[in-house]
Structure 1
Amino acid sequence: MSSKFVSMVYEALDNPAVNGAAVVALLESLGAPAENVSVTSTSVNYEPPEDTTQICDFIKVVIKGKTGKKSGGSSPTMGIIGRLGAQQAQPDRMGIVSDADGSIVALASAMKLLDMSAKGARLEGDVIITTHIATHVSITPHDPVDFMGMPVSSTTMNEYEVDDDMDAILSVDTSKGNSIIKKRGIALSATAKEGYILRVAPDLVSLMELATGNPAVTFPVTTQDITPYDNGIYHFNSIMQPHVATTAPVVGLAITAKSVVPGCDTGASYESELVDATVFSVEVAKQFTWSKIAFYDEAEYQKLLDLYGSMAVLQGGGAANK
């Protein structure tokens, strides 16, 4: 079960000395064949206003499929991004914070898929999983609860975490610090693609219900949420930010709560939700790379383009900044 990998990742990230090298070592311990996988860590310095002497490590896991593009095939590539500010907020907090949830799910999904690969169970297409490791960030005021700071800008995160080979992206992020979603569990967003907010993908709804045994839950996404994070407009959180850096369809997978829970607090990561999100993410990767599910209706999207034209301006700085 994925609960084992969730626990392993949680304990690794709860170490005050955790860094990219430690995470790479954990992932490589699964023993997946080197010719089928690549696990790398890239270090960059924090950017202002954070402490520029600190280091942020970006993790990328590439798991080659039997008929994936990296092996000369044509099966689609699944992208899973663990979105967050940081796993810890030293020195103001002791231990792992709720904000780490997205990275826990991404890395636990990677561990499950690496374990499958080590046992000979390879997916059809490639899977690319990315996230980052950071432990020293500020806590910034935000309504209704304070937000974790970010070690680098959202633009820099997208540079390292959004890969051009991703044909669809599941962006996983804790989304408990709001007064909109009032249910403990996991929730899906509508699909965002090149400035359009499309319908909630029926295939993903079905998979979520299979993975959790409960009715699927969705959460609202607005035009503001799919615009760049630094444009001065209100954003629900950063879960949809990969959208601004890709032509691939992006769906947010939110870890939610009944009460308003700050991302900067410890003791607020809930195992059952993390396991559900991991199981769901792995199933999406299986089915998408097998071409058995879709994130959006291509014909309907093309009709929107024919009727109303491109909305890709929403992915950039806006007409006023041209």
Structure 2
Amino acid sequence: MSIKHIIEILDLLDDPKVSGPAVAEYLKSYGAENIWVNHLTGEKGSTDFLKVLIPGRNGKTEGKKCPTLGIVGRLGGLGARPQRLGFTSDGDGALTVLAVAAKLSQMRSRGDVLDEDVIITTHICPNAPTRQNESVLFMDAPISSEEANVYEVDPEMDAIFCVDTTKGNRIVNQRGFAISPTVKEGYILRTSEQLLSLMEITTGRLPFVLPLSQQDITPYGNGIFHLNSILQPSVATKAPCVGVAITTATKVPGCATGASHVADLDECARFLIEAAKVFANSPDLFYKAEEYSKLLALYGPLSRFQTFGEK
């Protein structure tokens, strides 16, 4: 179970003085050994990007060939101070992946070592700006999405879960979490059957799928509406990406406080942990390579959707 870590990290992050180094110290208490923190300052403020590497017994860090799993916590900020006091709904993605980092580190220290390396990234920003979206007030970030991808998307990641609060919409009307179809180099591929099965196991319910439009997987800053930033890591990598969206039945602004549901975050974290357990031995977990190759042969590459397109 990850609920203990979620409660502890929620208390840690709900602090206007929280920082990357403070979170790193917390993770070290559960056995994490490989943590990097980068402090960045932009026109809208500053944030600490945090990367955690959890080595696997057959991972690249051991000189072996097992592919590396990436888990990215996407957000604008943990807090919208001084406009709003407290931990925001937008921070749920960071909270969830940090709980996963703590649990996987604890598992490894106890002897339950995954086959693959796992790299978990997010950023710690307790005082972020806000911006108006088409439907609700969104959280903004101190730096651009393009800059964030530099620190969130590690070149060693061979497949990526992109975890993000996705509540400010009427697209998914259920509390809990949903997964997106797999996105790879501009293609929106079929939703993974194996991941849907893992959702059923960890939640005890039928799975939810987050629908995507083509414009949702294009880069931020191109002047086109995006549902949110959940698939922004996909524009910066050739690795397959699956969005893991933390959802609600009603529209909840990203800057809303008091809107984090611990039970939902626990389900989401357990799903990610179970996916990490099977990743190394499930080559089709994210997508079927033969289907993707056939699409390329029939229709050619769509990597132009990872760019800003023609001006």
- How far 1:300 sits from its partner (Å)? 0.4
- How far 1:304 sits from its partner (Å)? 0.3
Q: Structure 1: which 4+ aligned runs deviate by more than 3 Å?
A: 290-293
RMSD of aligned residue pairs (Cα, Å): 1.0
Matched, 1:24 2:24: yes
CA distance in 2, matches of 1:208, 1:293: 16
Equivalent residue number for residue 218 of structure 1: 209
Gaps of 5+ in 1: none
Equivalent residue number for residue 284 of structure 1: 275
- 1:207-246 to 2 correspondence within 5 Å? 207-246=198-237
Matched, 1:191 2:191: no
- How far 1:118 sits from its partner (Å)? 1.0
Scaled by the length of structure 1, the TM-score of the pair is 0.95
Matched, 1:42 2:38: yes
Scaled by the length of structure 2, the TM-score of the pair is 0.98
Which letter maps to 2:13? L
Matched, 1:115 2:106: yes
User: For 1:87, which of 59, 78, 86 is the aligned residue?
Assistant: 78
% identity of equivalent residues = 48
User: How far does the alpha carbon of each residue in 1:192-225 deviate from its partner, in whole angstroms, 9 at most, with x for none?
Assistant: 0000000001110011111111111001111101
User: How far does the alpha carbon of each residue in 1:56-103 deviate from its partner, in whole angstroms, 9 at most, with x for none?
Assistant: 100100011000011111111110000000000111111100000000
User: For 1:162, which of 153, 158, 176 is the aligned residue?
Assistant: 153
User: For 2:53, which of 50, 62, 68 is the aligned residue?
Assistant: 62
CA distance in 1, matches of 2:289, 2:80: 42
User: How far does the alpha carbon of each residue in 1:3-25 deviate from its partner, in whole angstroms, 9 at most, with x for none?
Assistant: 00111111110011100010000
Equivalent residue number for residue 247 of structure 1: 238
Equivalent residue number for residue 263 of structure 1: 254
Query: How many pairs does the alignment contain?
Result: 311
Which letter maps to 1:308? Y
CA distance in 2, matches of 1:240, 1:292: 21
Q: Is the 8 A contact 1:76 1:291 kept in 2?
A: no
Q: Is the 8 A contact 1:60 1:131 kept in 2?
A: yes
CA distance in 2, matches of 1:101, 1:69: 30
Q: Is the 8 A contact 2:172 2:248 kept in 1?
A: yes
What secondary structure does 2:104 align onto?
helix
